[in-house]
Amino acid sequence: MSNFRLKSRILEIIVVVATMAIVASSPAQSANIGNQLGVSEGLSENFIKEIHSAQSVADALRDQSGAELALVASGQIQTANSGVPLITSLLFQDESVWVVQLTGKQLREAFEKSAAFFPNSMSSFLHISGVDIMFSPSKPSFDRIVSIYIGGRSIDAEKVYKVAMTSTLAHGALGYSSIWNFREPSREIGSLEKLLQGKTVQSTGFRWSYNSLR
């Protein structure tokens, strides 16, 4: 089995396990999820650490690639404390970074998928850099996005955007193959190890804006 197939298979297993956990949750548990996650914003301590790690990686990918935005999925992240080497927060550290081209329509579809089960933990949740998203967790799944701004402008469904992500995610891992499935990049930037060298996890605010979970 190729290295890519092995990574994809591991990420697929992560998705299945996370989905089974959500399905197994009782209605009462789902109704009280905001309280279970704690803190005033309804986010758990572990998820806040994940936000810091994933957004730091996404910022580095966008900065190093020159792409308009960057995406990192929850299933790619091992939570880490602020200040530790950024490379240690990744599940797979030997991947390549690709720049691919996605339309605004594809991005909106991906963000709807990402927000569909929030605040339940899902490995397919996309952490972002270079984009601001407003959504409503109280709306039906796959119809939660209120607004998306890239570079300060509202997303254009027909426009093609340059997006940085790992090669595995670009191949459509974590359930994104129905939206994109790239076999080669528009541009390959280099390895994660090289791009993240000397960088550390930074504390940044959650970039998905939403109304109360309660």
Which domains are seen in the chain, by residue range? 3-210 (3.90.780.10)
pLDDT attached to residue 25: 40
Query: Residues in the chain, how many?
Result: 214
Give the DSSP per-residue string, 61-121: HHHHH--SEEEEEGGGB----TTSBGGGGBS--S-EEEEEEEEHHHHHHHHHHHHTTTTS-
pLDDT of residue 24: 42
pLDDT one digit per residue (tens) for the chain, 214 residues:
555 555 555 555 544 444 444 334 433 333 333 333 323 357 889 999 999 999 999 999 999 999 999 999 999 999 888 999 999 999 999 999 999 999 999 999 999 999 999 988 899 999 999 999 999 999 999 999 999 999 999 999 999 999 999 999 999 999 999 999 999 999 999 999 999 999 999 999 999 998 755 4
- Say what the pLDDT of residue 188 is: 97
Q: For position 172, what pLDDT does the model report? A: 98
126 and 71 in contact (C-beta within 8 Å)? yes
Q: Are 132 and 206 in contact (CB under 8 A)?
A: no
